[in-house]
Structure 1
Amino acid sequence: MWWYASILLLLCVIPPVVMAQQEPLNIPDALPSQTVPNSQEVRTLLLWTDTMYDTMHGDYNTIHKMVFWCTDDILLYSIEIFVGGTIEHIIEKDSIRQNGQILEHDGYSGEGDIRLELVQGDAINLGSSPVVLSKPGSLMIPMQVSADSEVQIIATITYAGGPNAECHLDSFNPGVVGAPFPLGQTLNEFGSIMLKSTEIGVDDFNGYLSDIGEDWQMDLAIRDTLRLDISDIVDELDQLGASLYLGPPDGARLNELGRHNDDIVAISCCATLDSLSLEDNIFRTAPSDAYLGASLAHLMLHNDIQVILPVWVDDVWNNEYLKTIVGAFEEDGGIADEGIVQQGDQKLGELAPQIEQRIALLSERYGAGSVAVVMLPFFHIDFMQAMSEYPQANTVRWFGTDFLARDHSIIQDDKSKSLASNTGFTTLQLNGMGVQMEDVRQRLEMHTGKVATHDMLAAYESAWILGLAMQYAQSTDPQRLSEVIPYVAERYSGTLGVMRMDTNGDLVGVPLDVWSVHDGDWTRVGIME
């Protein structure tokens, strides 16, 4: 198998335990990511002069944020600004921001028309010339004016850039961020817990904005997707000027969101459907099912599992997830049984005798040590309780999806705990390597009363990544943020470490924790990295 040659190190071996009947797992390397080498490009810089226009309200209590940005890296030599018809005007000292960070400069105020030269002007000198303005970045100039009516801004900028460089003048108004989540008791309050984790992330990000002197905050517009259709939510929030979304956390509604309006940006913590892997403005802080499924197949094959018996619920998410597991497992020489599926009003627990019989047949043919059950159920506790009564089910390994990683309900019930311990029940979950992980994990657990999972950390991080992208670009424009979000995610390390995204907005090359139940408790037995 192609990856065996790359396995350099056994990262971790599970110590023998009393309850577990399975041999210790060997932990392979993670799946390699495909990279395209960067080619060195010889660039010719040209000197450009562009004139741009914007409008400004004459309300002296309102700060108008002029934002300059370019489609390529440039060297900015000067900005000349003229605003006619003003009575008074002011630019506060040290209020101009480059890529969201404060630049030191003198203040500027006066009466009458505004005639101002920046960068190396007499009134405002930004300290160095030229100013390097990178492609995803921004230069924001906040100005207050008093006027009898709306006034026009005329800005002329001189810069050096490549032949395709274009610079633009926009304004920045944070507005509201949509937060569509399924609230209530569905799936053990999954949506409510993810929303709470998101809100804690927003609160922490807003605290950061206050600490660095920003005058805006991220404001969530929360809507319940169990009571309202996504299309109605999007139409309503569009009237409020919302073009940015945190959520939904589930794949079906996220897909519907993108199909209803493609002129938005959304970051989802937990939607892993592989069908969402498209070149659009949807980003995910969780690995896709394709990556997780292939990694789980990789782990099983590396531990000499020859045959898998899938048991699953017939729905879109489980069918797609299982397809990725089976495809990767068979591609590298494994055998996938046709499996046993729960359909209609059936419960998987009712199929326990049939599952037990199939395990016995496969164990007799291939040996119990070469057989594993891969389960994707609803009501997994009921299912595991039923299967714990069957002896053959307790002699083979069991594997589950990331959705069940560190699920404490499994080890709080005696029967499901017994099955999980006897079979070394194993799941994968995104590895958290950020410096703030433990602090944030503790606070999430305190506020939700739940063990902090990757999904909760990813919901928390989604708020930070979107907020930092808004701050860096000084923008809410979906097209601009679709370029800035991957740039920020790869440079920000909060709880989960840096996040590298591909052109589809999916995480790539991420390390995965391997969690197994041993001696009645969840244990991290290694890292696939």
Structure 2
Amino acid sequence: MSSLSGNGKKITIVIFTVIIIGIGILLSSGLNNQEIIENTIQEKSSLSDAVLVGGLLPLTGDRSTRGEDYKTAIHLAEQDFNNYLDELGAKWKLDVIIEDSATSPVIALDKLASLNAKNIHIVIGPQSSAELRNIMSYANYNGMLLVSSGSTTPTLAIPNDNVYRFIPDDATQGKVLARLVHDEKITHIIPIWRGDAWGDGLKDVFTKEFTMLGGNVDEGIRYHPDVVEFSSSVSLLAEKVQQSSDKYELDHIAVLDISFTEAVQIMQTASQHEILGDVRWFGSSGIVKDTQLVEDRISQQFSEDVEFTALQFAPSKSDKYEKIQSLMESELGRVPNAYAFSTYDSVWIIGLAILQTQSTDMSTIKETIPDIAENYEGVIGSTKLNHAGDLDNSNYELWGVKNSEWIIVGKYDSSTDSILKFMIDI
């Protein structure tokens, strides 16, 4: 099943070598590009057989639903890229060896070491900030390159490390969340958040931005990522909302829930506290389009009752995007989350870097990826990276729940620094 092979990708050739720097770039000579590529590959290529790249995905654990999305995206991109290599007459194939990180920083490190033992030094993943923080030192020390499309904490936006993230960090998400809440006339926020690298980072950015807008942020409730029962945390949350109502009107109080799939359990428990259903709830990219939240009757109804609104990175919509979304939706039986499209593009960019350099050397690929990314027009749109090696594009969509479905209720455009809310009653 080929989706992007043979779709008019154009290739620039310079100084006797094939240099593929993305879609939409014209040849610098008037010669037939397919013929030149085929001849150059036959004469110059040092690659053959399978070129191994690693995949470190959360196939089990808190991020397992998204892990399925990532895996589907990788397999589709791998197939499409290999079809593209066939068209070029290349004698090698890209083969992504996937390991399950179980959404665990500890297991992620073990699986990364396993990939290293197989002499695999370029890895797609990990896809959570907690995992990435725990394995970065190992990757740097052992000469491994990590390409994530799920880690977003600003604290890991580090220039010149061995990490690329084809997703914007949460500096912008925190700012947009703060502005969204402020625009809704909320003056007092009580956060409940996942106590890991991602949750702490986003909560801190939001607190800074919302305070700068004149809002007040309660100390809130920080829970351990391994917690599975939330009665105590949610009871404390209810107490805080009740206490805050003595000082602020309920219309000006809101809960900010920064969590993964455990938001389902949090909302189930919150539904037992009347006061928690009397205030607005806001959320983040960690829960948007999560199928469990809308399939569970209690969390679905609660999210609609409190007009739950959350943010997620917004890929640029295009014919390519629609095509890949349709293929993944057909495979998954549901619409994939936005980060899956970044994962798809990550496979292509890594593959193009290997093709351009005719090398699998980590340092060579690391040096080449930013140039590839800057010129490549991916499924998500621009894949240009910033100075820290993270995606430069930082547009967001606002999502809510209506009639047991996730729906887009607004968007943030970084080019105009503006939030547009759609006229939808959620």
TM-score grouping bracket, smaller chain normalisation? 0.7 to 0.9
Report whether the alignment pairs 1:337 with 2:221: no
Which of 34, 40, 43 matches 1:143? Answer: 43
More moved, 463-472 vs 400-409: 463-472
Residue of structure 1 equivalent to 2:146: 266
CA deviation digits over 1:132-170, x for unaligned, max 9? Answer: xxxxxxx966438xxxxxxxxxxxxxxxxxxxxxxxxx9
Distance 1:481 1:329 in 2: 40
Distance 1:503 1:271 in 2: 16
Change in CA separation of 1:257 and 1:340 when aligned onto 2, cut-off 3 Å: closer
The Cα of 1:364 is off from its aligned counterpart by 4.0
The Cα of 1:238 is off from its aligned counterpart by 4.1
Report whether the alignment pairs 1:284 with 2:165: yes
The Cα of 1:283 is off from its aligned counterpart by 0.8
SS in 1 for 2:305: helix
The Cα of 1:284 is off from its aligned counterpart by 1.0
| Conserved 8 A contact 2:189-2:218 | yes
Residue of structure 2 equivalent to 1:217: 93
Distance 1:332 1:186 in 2: 33
| Conserved 8 A contact 1:249-1:269 | yes
Structure 1's unaligned 5+ residue stretches are 1-73, 80-95, 102-125, 129-138, 145-169
More moved, 198-207 vs 464-473: 464-473
Percentage of matched positions with identical amino acids? 27
Residue of structure 2 equivalent to 1:425: 308
Distance 1:384 1:286 in 2: 28
SS in 2 for 1:405: coil
Report whether the alignment pairs 1:248 with 2:159: no
Residue of structure 2 equivalent to 1:9: none
Change in CA separation of 1:457 and 1:497 when aligned onto 2, cut-off 3 Å: same
- Count of aligned residue pairs for this structure pair: 379
RMSD: 3.1
Report whether the alignment pairs 1:305 with 2:205: no
TM-score w.r.t. the length of structure 1 is 0.64
Residue of structure 2 equivalent to 1:408: 291
- What one-letter code is carried by the residue in structure 2 that aligns with 1:97? V
Change in CA separation of 1:183 and 1:289 when aligned onto 2, cut-off 3 Å: same
Residue of structure 1 equivalent to 2:342: 458
Distance 1:413 1:198 in 2: 29
Residue of structure 1 equivalent to 2:198: 317
The Cα of 1:239 is off from its aligned counterpart by 5.3
| Conserved 8 A contact 2:74-2:347 | yes
Residue of structure 1 equivalent to 2:399: 515
Larger fraction in helix: 2
Residue of structure 2 equivalent to 1:97: 18
Which of 364, 367, 381 matches 2:264? Answer: 381
Larger fraction in strand: 1
Distance 1:367 1:429 in 2: 29
Larger Rg: 1
Report whether the alignment pairs 1:469 with 2:353: yes
TM-score w.r.t. the length of structure 2 is 0.78
CA deviation digits over 1:426-453, x for unaligned, max 9? Answer: 1111112243112211221222234311
Q: Which runs of 4+ in 1 moved over 6 A?
A: none
Change in CA separation of 1:522 and 1:181 when aligned onto 2, cut-off 3 Å: closer
Distance 1:477 1:255 in 2: 24
- What one-letter code is carried by the residue in structure 2 that aligns with 1:376? I
| Conserved 8 A contact 2:129-2:197 | no
Distance 2:190 2:61 in 1: 31
1:61-76 equivalences under 5 Å are none
